[in-house]
Amino acid sequence: MTSYGPNTRVVVAGVDYTEVHDEWMNQDIMKKATPGNTRVVISRGSQRGQLMVGDEVAMDFPVCLGTASHRTPVGHFRITEKAVHHVSNLYDASMPYFMRLTDSGIGMHVGPVFQTPQSHGCIRMTRSSCVPLFKTVKVGTPVTIVQ
Per-residue pLDDT band for 21 (boundaries 50, 70, 90) equals: low
pLDDT in tens, 124-133: 999 999 999 9
Q: How much is the pLDDT for 90?
A: 74
User: With contact defined as beta carbons under 8 Å apart, do 137 and 120 qualify?
Assistant: no
Which one, of 19, 48, 62, 20, lies nearest residue 147 by Cα?
48
Q: How much is the pLDDT for 17?
A: 45
pLDDT in tens, 40-57: 999 999 999 999 999 999
Per DSSP, the three-state class of 104 is coil
pLDDT (average), residues 68-92: 92
Q: How much is the pLDDT for 131?
A: 96
Per-residue pLDDT band for 122 (boundaries 50, 70, 90) equals: very high
pLDDT in tens, 89-114: 777 788 999 999 999 999 999 999 98
- Percent pLDDT > 90 in the chain is 70
- pTM of the predicted model as reported, rounded to 2 decimal places: 0.84
Q: Report whether pLDDT(117) > 90.
A: no
85 burial (CB, 10 Å; 0-12 / 13-18 / 19+) is exposed
User: With contact defined as beta carbons under 8 Å apart, do 33 and 44 qualify?
Assistant: no
